[in-house]
Chains A and B, each alone.
Chain A
Amino acid sequence: MTTTGRHNRRGAVLVLASAFALASCGGSDTGTSDTAGTNTTLATSEASVTVTDQWARTSPMAATTGAAYMDIIASDGDELLSASVDASVAAKVEVHEVVMSGGSMSMQEVDKIVLPAGETVSLEPGGFHIMLLDLVAPLQSGSTIPVTLTFATAGEITIDVPVREEAP
């Protein structure tokens, strides 16, 4: 798994007014993006597990699945066993990994994500993700989803995951 220990936060991103009005189920106008890098509540730390830069992608129209991403670091080592959301968001939540086989990509559910001590493990597009199945409604940009993560040692941690068009 990847070990991306660094995250260069973007500088302030100015709000754009776009001439191209693209429809989006996220509910946000095309081209608008919130200011990034200044949200001090992104990090959640409990026991020895810290979750940062969590985000879920805004849903395209007609999508029934969603994905949430984040960086996790367990200072003493741990394992992410599962995740859950309220039934009003999605019927089922699974932890998946994208695997490559001869150029083709597919997902497979994983029993756990191992978190080596002190190593940042990234759940990011093309890699691990928390998959939300059977979304009740499209994920709207600007909203927040509480996601409960279950760790082998640290137990349950609930984080607020902002829904965004792209990674923070």
Chain B
Amino acid sequence: MRHWELMGTAPHRRTATLAVATVIAVAACSSSPDTLIGYVPPATKSVASVTVTEIIDGAPRPFSFRAADGEILVVIFGYTNCPDICPATLSNLKNARTKLGDDASRVDIAMVTVDPDRDTAAIMPRYLSSFTDRFHAVIPSSESELRAAEEVFQTSSSVTKVDGRVEVSHTGTAYGVNERGEVIVEWPFGIDVPSLVSDLEMLLT
């Protein structure tokens, strides 16, 4: 028995019919939603106070978890050697952005590596570029910087070496952050693409 539901891989997968056009028009939801499908934190969860390090053109730059005006910043914590969870989430986000059409450019993605020893500046941006053209490769410059970021998001991770093997633990949650640097929605691992699209469309209107 699982402890959680994997909506993204449930057998009740919708059949999507997509129209071929210069602008991608998707009819994933027939009516405009009025509630978010993802989890909405009951109290304001402010994450803008922490400054982390992102890599731009190979160089470290300060970055704050705050979306640009009119945009949503989706934040995930993971590592590039992750074979399952991280590629699945990033793939779903990629698909969701594609289905947003023009609004895809208003969805920004930040991945914070919980394994900065192995996820170097040479690796992370390349990894993320496989999924999105809007990304922030956040490589914490110290453990305290990583923990500070984890604390405001109320998440955690661990990297341990066991018999020469590196074992990493992290949450699979994707956090939707607004312009004020507040987490306004949290998507659990496995949330399906139509739900992501519905929530993003609602947040971007």
Contacts and interface: CB of A to CB of B under 8 A. Distances in A.
Interface string B171-204: 1110000000000000001100000000000000
A126 B8 CA distance: 9
Given A23-B129, A100-B3, A104-B169, A11 B189 contact: no
A78 interface: no
Interface residues of B, number: 58
Where chain A touches its partner, the secondary structure class is loop
A24 interface: yes
A106 B85 CA distance: 9
Contacts of A26: 130
Contact of A11 (B17, B95, B169): B17
Given A30-B98, A104-B169, A61 B88 contact: no
Contacts of A129: 83-84
Contacts, number: 154
A139 B131 CA distance: 15
Q: Which of under 10, 10 to 19, 20 to 34, or 35 or more describes the interface residues of A?
A: 35 or more
A131 B85 CA distance: 12
A131 B82 CA distance: 10
Contacts of B104: 20
B94 A22 contact: yes
B58 to A, nearest CB: 14
Interface stretch (A2-10, A41-49, A152-160): A2-10
A144 interface: no
A16 interface: yes
Contact of B24 (A2, A16, A57, A132): A16
A77 B172 CA distance: 32
Nearest to B2: A2
B140 to A, nearest CB: 17
B181 to A, nearest CB: 22
A22 B133 contact: yes
A105 B11 contact: no
Given A4-B11, A60-B130, A126 B6 contact: yes
Contacts of B18: 13-14, 16
B36 interface: no
Contacts of A65: 81-83
Contacts of B53: none
B98 A20 contact: yes
12 contacts: A2-B2, A14-B17, A14-B18, A15-B20, A16-B24, A18-B98, A19-B24, A20-B133, A96-B84, A100-B3, A105-B171, A131-B83
Interface of A: 2, 4-8, 10-11, 13-26, 30-31, 57, 59-67, 96, 98, 100-107, 122, 124-127, 129, 131-132, 165-167
